């Protein structure tokens, strides 16, 4: 389905905005590339350039050093110019969101057909999205893979969905958590029943795609062991503790050495545990499970950044019909605004001015996480209440309790 | 004929042990726990004790000196290469012959406890180890900033009285000392030895709970306080009363010399862990801990009659030491066998230990155009076509 | 264990040695002291002690002039060639000229050690290297046990074997422990400690002269630059006091010079000095172990112009250098007789100064940028020669928490009188760091054009460390080892390849620090936030919805309700009674 003219206008405006800053204000770009809120050890553009430097000289970029990203990115960034890549990816994401929006049909009476221009604009002109794009965070490629997977699933394209989610997993590991709700979503869109045969073929497609990608990577860089330990091991064992907006870095700086492995395990189990819980609780709304999981991943993954937040805030408007049921929207929005303004300020006084210490910035990351968790929890509550009201329509507008 | 000789011999064995402790070596562990220039006095406390034990004969190989900072070569030191413990600057404690075994960041609680209990990884040189045995008298002196049952190490970690008590009891279990004299000069020092429970330990500290220990005086040119009060008066006693190894001054004399008016805090002594209690402890000579044991007695050599007496006395001493040495040997051979076994076992482990291969640098030369770029483009094209056609072919 | 006897003490001990162990062969022991006055009242004193041992005697542990303790450590660690350096201070190239020994006897500030170790595999070489470091740390009372795998590199270009080795399976390993590492216990003498720059080196290498058996040679040098005026201050009172007004020498060319305004230029004068002034005692005569005659027996040399007059004591014969060579005079001392001389006061205005060799290149390295997150490294090379370019290798061994970005490495000419284009970076050898296991090693081959100043820069990121990885004084920062510059393609007078080295200063790297008082608090706070998020989502998922009025009562609710009812009735009763009463 061709996009509407208004949507195309939004795309053009977004492209113009990004490309003009890329070409006319390179100082802003270099400042944004260095900001810890935007680039993390696993998504930093500077580290990608370093890996590219070694790759171009025939040396494995994974034997030590700072590069912890997938080799496919090296190939992409060696051939294509970065500004074009990031801008096009943003537009692709917006387009895929409109695809999902157009295909979305929910049985609840509150649901109204979504306006694709609104969805696209909400994503493209979200300040977090713009900052991530200009800051050249390579998580954008993962985001594109994730949204593409959801869009393919919405269109009933199993191969596309598995291909894209395998690509996402290959790049950033966490999209593997979206596999169960994704399969359910595909089944729902295709109006197919989910049998063992289907599921197994989908999973084998997924596994096959990952195998192909790993094989290709090994051919590119040569040594498998260093690649796996540097790229995926670094993400799992969190050895690089560079400050970011997440909860892991300061915790693992201060933790006693004897408990380090234990807590790494605990934090990962905590994150992974949400997948099963949400999928089992909301099997009829797998899209919302994906949305909620994206939000939870943004809070609890080891190296979150503004691009993860921008992804979450981009998919959240798909469920705007439950907004009347939310309780703490204003509070969550204020907390998020507060922390996004104070975070950079406190980082500045810790690292550059020296008049504050790490606790200031750490406190802001706590507040930020609380704000995001409020948003996730609140939207989850709203969706559950909406689901309940479908069963008991007389409860609309009444006060409820959860027991 | 045998019996009286045996009896005499047995008596001669008894007699010395009443007056002298039956120790065969002397070791000293001297620890300063403070870093930074304004804690100059803690280092000079330790170095003064170091000088004293060296003066009284303990060799460097049996002294373990732990100094966390370098005052002598500190850029703030107006007298480079020197550490003074007195404002008259008559005696340089550092420059001539000092062997610091643990310096700087090596002075940590972990290293100190490992040193006491001798639990080390392989490869630690002997100069850093306390190689005592059950005939060794050990002097342990600690100084720094402390509090109620703790002592700060380098302003970043602490050792507690329980840690010390457990370390000493481990030493007692492993028979690593004959008798131990523990001296500590910090604030609330006496609380540090409150928890000791190993036998054979005499402990003394400079101040009671809730009492601070004070510095004695400062040197205006060095710019900081150069000695602490309690250590100053202990040293005064040692310098004036214990001039050499023949000194018969006892620990009782030393502790009686404490003058609360001068020290400005109440030093304490703990006798209850010592076999024989306060009575036996007070009779121990100061040089039993501060000096090096020597089996030689210098006597008047003029008269010839005494020659025979000397020879007889020498025979008795020789026999006495032979039996003692034989007993030691038995213990030591068992211990040595054990250490040899342990060493070979750990050597085997070390060889199995995987030391990472040292990697040399790689030469970086940019290849202008390469197969790599073509391969990259091909891979991207391949993936793209896989995406496109796959969606069409598969469900 | 007794430390290796400190070397200046060794000098005095040997000089006062009266009873010999045995008559020795002529080439077995050599010692020399070279004194070179430097501008602005400084003095370069270079001690050298060299002794040989035949390879058979060494292998059978028959040590005579070779220190037994060192020999045993080297044999235990399978080390065939050893170079150990202890250095503190900064060599002022502008004032003092070229480094002594062409920089070959200098090390990084702190301890620098490189050795050729014989072993079959690289892992075993590393193991032996660690054993060597442990042994040497105990021997020299230096914290060399801190040179572990994270501080060890395998330089490829920067160091070369200087000994003659038969065996080919030798591995070179190099380690630096920058900062202070125990020099205090070794260099005795408070005058020595007051030096502006001091370097002690120990070199052990095999030497095979053709037609003879192989020897193991140990070469120890101590070089120091002393400030004469400071050395002359009494030890009890080394604090500089103001000079008396009548002793002030003023610069009369200044416009404001007058009776009560003075710009002191006493730096142009070097005070009078003698061995006793500078070292605290005179030379105690020749060493009986050294040669009796010939050029090697002149063990004390003064590098001063022939026109300079010196008062010498009775115990030495003077021999001046022949014309055509660098001007210097050497003294042969008599065994057992103390020897001293008096250098009179000299002034740069009236006395001829010895010509100092000019350094081929000057290198300065600094960190740029601000903040605790990232920075840049900048090395500035100055080539003073108008015609000769300088080819050099810049070797840097960086700690793992300093993460350089090699893609930002660039070299640019800052100022030049050389009109042509020049390619500066010729080659790059790079070994990236692995977090907590090994550091970065960079070797850049550069070519500096004549009469130019070249700046080589790259960016780096600073890592944040774990709580326990910071030293007790964390906010001081970490020391980054000096860079080693090796000048290539230089030959000495006889055409053999000559090694010329210089080292930059070490740097202090300030890393971002966490709050060290906070471990429990951080664990609690982060866990609380995670629990809040988890708890709220868990509750939302688990609980079921009911209308407000449909909430079933539970026991506690019932109890509370009945309690409230009772309190209300009680209240009513009391107030009711009161009401009754008032009414």
The 10s digit of each residue's pLDDT in C501-518 is 999 998 999 999 999 998
Tokens of B260: 């609360």
Q: Given an 8 Å threshold on Cβ–Cβ distance, is C149 in contact with B104?
A: no
Residue B61 contacts residue C2 (beta carbons within 8 Å): yes
Supply the DSSP string of A37-83, one letter for each residue. TT--TTT-HHHHHHHHHHHHTT--TTSSSS--S-HHHHHHHHHS-HH
CA A118 to chain C, closest CA, distance in angstroms equals 29
Interfacial B residues in 262-321 facing A (CB < 8 Å): none
Supply the DSSP string of A100-127, one letter for each residue. HHHH---SSTT-----HHHHHHHHHT-H
Q: Given an 8 Å threshold on Cβ–Cβ distance, is B380 in contact with A158?
A: no
Q: Which of A206, A216, A218, A225 would best serve as a mutation to test chain B binding (most B beta carbons within 10 A)?
A: A216
Q: What is the pLDDT of residue C523?
A: 95
Nearest chain C residue to B157 by CA distance is: C472
Write out chain C residues lying below 8 Å of B154, CB-based. 472-473
* Cα–Cα nearest to A397, from C551, A379, A386: A386
Q: What is the pLDDT of residue C254?
A: 87
Residue A154 contacts residue A104 (beta carbons within 8 Å): yes
Q: Which of C399, C401, C410, C540 would best serve as a mutation to test chain A binding (most A beta carbons within 10 A)?
A: C540
B375: contact with A, CB 8 A cutoff? yes
Give the closest of C373, C461, C540 to A380, CB-based: C540
Q: Given an 8 Å threshold on Cβ–Cβ distance, is A400 in contact with C514?
A: no
Q: Which of A34, A56, A66 would best serve as a mutation to test chain C binding (most C beta carbons within 10 A)?
A: A66
Nearest chain B residue to A198 by CA distance is: B395
Residue C295 — pLDDT band, cuts 50, 70, 90? low
Task: Find chains touching chain A: ≥3 CB pairs under 8 Å.
Answer: B, C
List the beta bridge partners of residue C412: C455
* Cα–Cα nearest to B20, from B273, B203, B239, B293: B293
Task: Find chains touching chain B: ≥3 CB pairs under 8 Å.
Answer: A, C
Nearest chain A residue to B365 by CA distance is: A57
CA A334 to chain B, closest CA, distance in angstroms equals 40
Write out chain B residues lying below 8 Å of C472, CB-based. 35, 68, 105, 153-157
Q: Given an 8 Å threshold on Cβ–Cβ distance, is A160 in contact with B380?
A: no
Tokens of C541: 């998922």
Interface of A with B (CB under 8 A): 54-59, 63, 72, 74-76, 78-79, 152, 157-160, 163, 201, 205, 212, 216, 219-220
Q: What is the dihedral of CA A236, A239, A245, A247, to 10 degrees?
A: 70
Q: Given an 8 Å threshold on Cβ–Cβ distance, is B391 in contact with A79?
A: no
Taking the CB of residue C92, how many other CB atoms lie within 10 A of it?
15
Query: For residues A193 and A186, what is the distance between their CA atoms, to the nearest angstrom?
Result: 10
pLDDT over threshold 90, residue A144: yes
Residue C399 contacts residue C150 (beta carbons within 8 Å): yes
DSSP B298: -
Give the closest of B364, B387, B393 to A57, CB-based: B364
Residue C143 — pLDDT band, cuts 50, 70, 90? low
Residue B228 — pLDDT band, cuts 50, 70, 90? very high
CA C207 to chain A, closest CA, distance in angstroms equals 39
Pairing, β C329-333 against β C362-368: unpaired
Q: Between A and C, how many CB-CB pairs are < 8 A?
A: 163
Return the HEC string of C292-308.
CCCHHHCCEEECCCCCC
The 10s digit of each residue's pLDDT in C51-91 is 888 887 777 777 777 778 888 888 888 888 889 888 888 89
Query: For residues C515 and A243, what is the distance between their CA atoms, to the nearest angstrom?
Result: 13
The 10s digit of each residue's pLDDT in B284-319 is 999 999 988 865 545 555 555 667 777 888 888 888
Q: Given an 8 Å threshold on Cβ–Cβ distance, is B380 in contact with A220?
A: no
pLDDT over threshold 70, residue C17: no
Mean of all residue pLDDT scores within chain B: 84
Residue with tokens 């060192």: C70
What are the residues whose beta carbons fall under 8 Å from the beta carbon of A6, sequence distance 6 or more?
A: A117
CA B151 to chain A, closest CA, distance in angstroms equals 21
Q: Is the ipTM of this complex over 0.90?
A: yes
Write out chain C residues lying below 8 Å of A243, CB-based. 464, 512
Give the closest of C512, C515, C526 to A351, CB-based: C512
CA–CA distances in Å: residue C491 to residues A26, A207, C324, C443, C495 = 49, 63, 20, 22, 5
Q: What is the dihedral of CA C484, C487, C488, C494, to 10 degrees?
A: -130
CA–CA distances in Å: residue C3 to residues A24, B127, C67, C220 = 66, 9, 11, 16
Total length of chain A = 403
Does the domain at B23-290 match CATH 3.40.50.1460? Answer given as yes
Give the catalytic positions of B in this structure. 145, 187
Nearest chain A residue to B362 by CA distance is: A59
Give the closest of A159, A201, A212 to B391, CB-based: A159
Q: Which of C461, C519, C542, C548 would best serve as a mutation to test chain A binding (most A beta carbons within 10 A)?
A: C461
Write out chain C residues lying below 8 Å of B155, CB-based. 472-473
> Order of strands, edge to edge, in the sheet holding C374-383?
C362-368, C374-383, C452-462, C402-416
The 10s digit of each residue's pLDDT in B12-65 is 454 443 345 578 899 999 999 999 999 999 999 999 999 999 999 999 999 999
Q: What is the pLDDT of residue B262?
A: 93
Q: Given an 8 Å threshold on Cβ–Cβ distance, is C463 in contact with A255?
A: no
Residue B288 contacts residue B20 (beta carbons within 8 Å): yes
Tokens of C473: 């004084």
Q: Given an 8 Å threshold on Cβ–Cβ distance, is C461 in contact with A381?
A: no
Q: Given an 8 Å threshold on Cβ–Cβ distance, is C138 in contact with B92?
A: no
CA B360 to chain A, closest CA, distance in angstroms equals 12
The 10s digit of each residue's pLDDT in A179-200 is 999 999 999 998 878 788 889 9
Write out chain B residues lying below 8 Å of A158, CB-based. 394-395
CA A159 to chain B, closest CA, distance in angstroms equals 5
Query: For residues B180 and B198, what is the distance between their CA atoms, to the nearest angstrom?
Result: 10
Nearest chain B residue to C190 by CA distance is: B81
Residue A282 contacts residue C542 (beta carbons within 8 Å): no
Give the closest of A65, A251, A296 to C526, CB-based: A251
Residue ranges of domains in chain C, CATH in brackets? 46-230 (no CATH), 272-344 (no CATH), 362-509 (2.60.40.1170), 520-582 (no CATH)
Taking the CB of residue A363, how many other CB atoms lie within 10 A of it?
16
In angstroms, how far is the first alpha carbon of chain B from the final one?
114
Write out chain C residues lying below 8 Å of B36, CB-based. 473
Q: What is the pLDDT of residue C516?
A: 92
Write out chain C residues lying below 8 Å of A399, CB-based. 547-548
Q: Given an 8 Å threshold on Cβ–Cβ distance, is C530 in contact with A255?
A: no
The 10s digit of each residue's pLDDT in A239-253 is 999 999 999 999 999
Residue C8 — pLDDT band, cuts 50, 70, 90? very low
Query: For residues A220 and B382, what is the distance between their CA atoms, to the nearest angstrom?
Result: 14
Q: What is the pLDDT of residue B257?
A: 93
The 10s digit of each residue's pLDDT in B196-227 is 999 999 999 999 999 899 999 999 989 999 99
pLDDT over threshold 60, residue C339: yes
Higher pLDDT, B276 or B372: B276
Residue B85 contacts residue B45 (beta carbons within 8 Å): yes
Nearest chain B residue to C77 by CA distance is: B123
Pick from B330-334, C17-21, C122-126, C141-145 the range whose average pLDDT is largest: C122-126
CA B356 to chain A, closest CA, distance in angstroms equals 13
CA A346 to chain C, closest CA, distance in angstroms equals 13
The 10s digit of each residue's pLDDT in B247-266 is 899 999 999 999 999 999 99
Give the closest of B35, B79, B96 to C188, CB-based: B96
Tokens of C474: 């964390």
Query: For residues C202 and C216, what is the distance between their CA atoms, to the nearest angstrom?
Result: 13
Nearest chain C residue to A402 by CA distance is: C545
pLDDT over threshold 90, residue A378: yes
Q: Where are the domains of chain A?
A: 5-395
Pairing, β C478-480 against β C214-227: unpaired
């Amino acid at each position: 389905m061709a996009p509407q003219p208004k949507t195309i206008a939004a795309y053009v405006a977004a492209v113009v905005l990004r490309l003009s800053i890329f070409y006319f204000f390179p100082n802003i770009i270099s400042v944004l590339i260095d900001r810890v809120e935007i680039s993390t050890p696993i998504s930093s553009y500077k580290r990608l350039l370093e890996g590219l430097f070694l790759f171009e000289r025939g040396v494995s970029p994974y034997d030590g050093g700072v590069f912890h990203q997938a080799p496919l990115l090296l190939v992409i960034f060696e051939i294509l110019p970065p500004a074009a890549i990031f801008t096009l990816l943003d537009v692709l994401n917006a387009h895929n969101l409109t695809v999902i929006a157009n295909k979305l049909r929910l049985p609840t009476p509150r649901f109204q057909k979504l306006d694709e221009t609104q969805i696209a604009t909400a994503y493209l002109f979200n300040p977090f999205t713009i900052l991530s794009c200009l800051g050249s965070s390579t998580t954008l490629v993962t985001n594109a893979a994730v949204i593409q997977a959801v869009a393919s699933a919405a269109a009933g394209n199993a191969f596309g969905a598995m291909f894209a989610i395998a690509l996402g997993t290959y790049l950033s590991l966490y999209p593997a958590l979206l596999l169960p709700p994704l399969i359910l979503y595909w089944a729902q869109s295709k109006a197919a029943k989910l049998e063992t045969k289907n599921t197994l073929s989908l999973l084998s497609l997924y596994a096959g795609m990952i195998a192909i990608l790993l094989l290709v990577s090994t051919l590119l860089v040569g040594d498998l062991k260093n690649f796996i330990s540097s790229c995926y091991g670094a993400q799992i064992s969190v050895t690089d503790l560079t400050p970011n907006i997440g909860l892991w870095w300061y915790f693992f700086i201060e933790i006693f050495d004897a408990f380090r492995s234990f807590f790494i395990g605990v934090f990962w189990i905590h994150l992974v545990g949400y997948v099963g819980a949400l999928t089992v609780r909301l099997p009829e709304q797998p899209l919302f499970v994906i949305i909620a999981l994206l939000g939870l991943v943004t809070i609890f993954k080891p190296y979150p950044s503004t691009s993860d937040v921008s992804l979450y805030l981009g998919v959240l408007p798909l469920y705007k019909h439950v907004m009347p049921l939310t309780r703490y929207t204003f509070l969550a929005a204020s907390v998020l605004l507060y922390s996004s303004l104070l975070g950079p300020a406190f980082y500045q006084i810790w690292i550059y001015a020296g008049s504050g210490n790490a606790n200031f910035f750490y406190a802001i990351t706590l507040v930020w996480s609380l704000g995001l968790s409020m948003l996730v929890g609140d939207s989850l509550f709203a969706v559950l209440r909406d689901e309940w009201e479908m069963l008991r329509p007389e409860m609309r507008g009444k006060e409820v309790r959860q027991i | 004929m045998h019996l009286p000789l045996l009896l005499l011999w047995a008596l001669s064995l008894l007699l010395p042990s009443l007056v002298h402790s039956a120790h065969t070596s002397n070791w000293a562990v001297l620890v300063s726990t403070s870093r930074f220039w304004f804690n100059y006095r803690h280092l000079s406390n330790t170095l003064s004790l170091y000088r004293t034990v060296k003066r009284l004969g303990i060799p460097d190989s049996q002294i373990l000196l732990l100094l966390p900072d370098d005052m002598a070569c500190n850029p703030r030191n107006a007298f480079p290469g020197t550490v003074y413990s007195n404002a008259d600057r008559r005696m340089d404690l550092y420059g001539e012959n000092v062997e610091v075994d643990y310096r700087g960041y090596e002075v940590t609680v972990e290293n100190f406890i490992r040193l006491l209990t001798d639990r080390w990884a392989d490869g630690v040189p002997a100069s850093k180890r306390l190689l005592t045995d059950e005939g060794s008298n050990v002097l342990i002196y600690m100084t720094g900033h402390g509090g109620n049952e703790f002592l700060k190490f380098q302003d970043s970690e602490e050792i507690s009285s329980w840690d010390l008590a457990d370390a000493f009891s481990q030493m007692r279990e492993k028979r690593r000392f004959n008798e131990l004299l523990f001296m500590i000069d910090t604030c609330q020092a006496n609380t540090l030895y409150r928890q000791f429970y190993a036998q054979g330990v005499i402990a003394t500290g400079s101040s009671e709970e809730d009492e601070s220990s004070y510095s004695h005086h400062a040197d205006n040119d060095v710019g900081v306080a150069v000695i602490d009060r309690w250590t100053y008066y202990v040293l005064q006693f040692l310098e004036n009363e214990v001039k050499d190894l023949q000194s018969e001054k006892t620990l009782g004399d030393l502790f009686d010399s404490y003058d609360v008016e001068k020290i400005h805090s109440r030093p304490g002594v703990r006798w209850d862990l010592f076999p024989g209690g306060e009575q036996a402890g007070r009779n121990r000579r100061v040089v039993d801990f501060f000096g090096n044991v020597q089996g030689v007695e210098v006597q008047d050599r003029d008269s010839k009659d005494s020659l025979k007496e000397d020879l007889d006395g020498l025979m008795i001493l020789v026999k006495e030491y032979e039996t003692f040495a034989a007993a030691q040997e038995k213990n030591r051979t068992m211990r040595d066998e054990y250490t040899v076994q342990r060493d070979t076992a750990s050597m085997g482990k070390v060889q199995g230990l995987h030391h990472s291969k040292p990697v040399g640098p790689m030469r970086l030369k940019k290849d202008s155009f390469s197969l790599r770029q073509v391969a990259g483009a091909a891979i991207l094209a391949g993936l793209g076509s896989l995406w496109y056609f796959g969606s069409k072919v598969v469900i | 264990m007794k430390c290796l006897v400190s070397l200046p003490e060794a000098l005095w001990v040997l000089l006062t040695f009266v009873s010999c162990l045995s008559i020795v062969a002529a080439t077995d022991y050599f010692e020399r002291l070279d004194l070179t006055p430097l501008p602005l009242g400084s003095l370069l004193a270079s001690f050298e002690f060299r002794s040989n041992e035949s390879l058979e005697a060494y292998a059978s542990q028959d040590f005579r002039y070779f220190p037994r303790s060192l020999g045993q450590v080297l044999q235990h660690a399978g080390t065939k060639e050893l170079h150990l350096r202890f250095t503190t201070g900064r060599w002022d190239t502008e004032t003092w000229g070229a480094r002594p020994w062409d920089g070959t006897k200098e090390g990084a500030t702190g301890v620098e050690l490189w050795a050729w170790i014989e072993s079959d595999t690289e892992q075993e070489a590393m193991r032996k290297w660690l054993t060597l470091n442990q042994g040497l740390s105990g021997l020299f009372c230096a914290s060399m046990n801190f040179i572990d795998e994270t501080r060890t590199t395998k330089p490829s270009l920067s160091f070369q074997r200087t000994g003659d080795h038969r065996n080919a399976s030798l591995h070179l390993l190099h380690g630096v422990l920058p900062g202070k590492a125990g020099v205090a216990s070794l260099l005795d003498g408070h005058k020595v400690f007051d030096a502006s720059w001091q370097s002690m080196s120990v070199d052990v290498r095999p030497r095979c002269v053709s037609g003879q058996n192989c020897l193991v040679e140990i070469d120890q040098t101590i070089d120091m630059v002393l400030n004469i005026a400071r050395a002359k201050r009494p030890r009890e009172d080394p604090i500089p006091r103001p000079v008396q007004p009548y002793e002030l020498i003023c610069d009369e060319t200044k416009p404001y010079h007058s009776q009560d305004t003075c710009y002191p230029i006493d730096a142009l004068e070097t005070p009078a000095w003698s061995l006793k002034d500078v070292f605290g005692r005179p030379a105690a005569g020749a060493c009986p172990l050294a040669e009796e005659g010939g050029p090697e027996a002149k063990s004390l040399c003064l590098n001063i112009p022939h026109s300079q007059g010196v008062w010498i004591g009775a115990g030495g014969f003077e021999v001046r250098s022949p014309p055509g060579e660098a001007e210097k005079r050497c003294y042969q001392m008599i065994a057992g007789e103390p020897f001293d001389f008096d250098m009179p006061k000299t002034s740069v205005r009236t006395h001829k100064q010895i010509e100092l060799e000019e350094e081929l290149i000057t290198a300065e390295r600094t960190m740029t940028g601000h903040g605790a997150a990232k920075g840049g490294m900048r090395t500035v090379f100055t080539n003073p020669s108008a015609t000769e370019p300088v080819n050099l290798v810049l070797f840097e061994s960086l700690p793992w928490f300093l993460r350089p970005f090699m893609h930002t490495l660039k070299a640019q000419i800052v100022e030049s009188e050389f009109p042509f284009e020049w390619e500066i970076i010729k080659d790059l050898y790079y070994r990236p760091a692995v977090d907590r296991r090994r550091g970065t090693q960079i070797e850049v081959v550069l070519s500096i054009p004549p009469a130019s100043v070249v700046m080589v820069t790259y960016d780096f990121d600073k890592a944040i460390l774990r709580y326990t990885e910071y030293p007790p004084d964390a906010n001081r920062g970490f020391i980054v080892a000096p860079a080693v510059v090796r000048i290539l393609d230089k030959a000495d007078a006889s055409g053999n390849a000559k090694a010329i080295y210089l080292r930059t200063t070490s740097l202090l790297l300030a890393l971002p620090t966490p709050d060290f008082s906070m471990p429990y608090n951080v664990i609690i706070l982060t866990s609380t936030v995670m629990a809040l998020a988890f708890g709220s989502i868990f509750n939302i998922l688990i609980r079921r919805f009911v209308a407000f009025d449909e909430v079933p009562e539970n026991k506690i609710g019932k109890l509370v309700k009945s309690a409230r009812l009772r309190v209300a009735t009680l209240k009513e009763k009391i107030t009711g009674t009161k009401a009754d009463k008032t009414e």
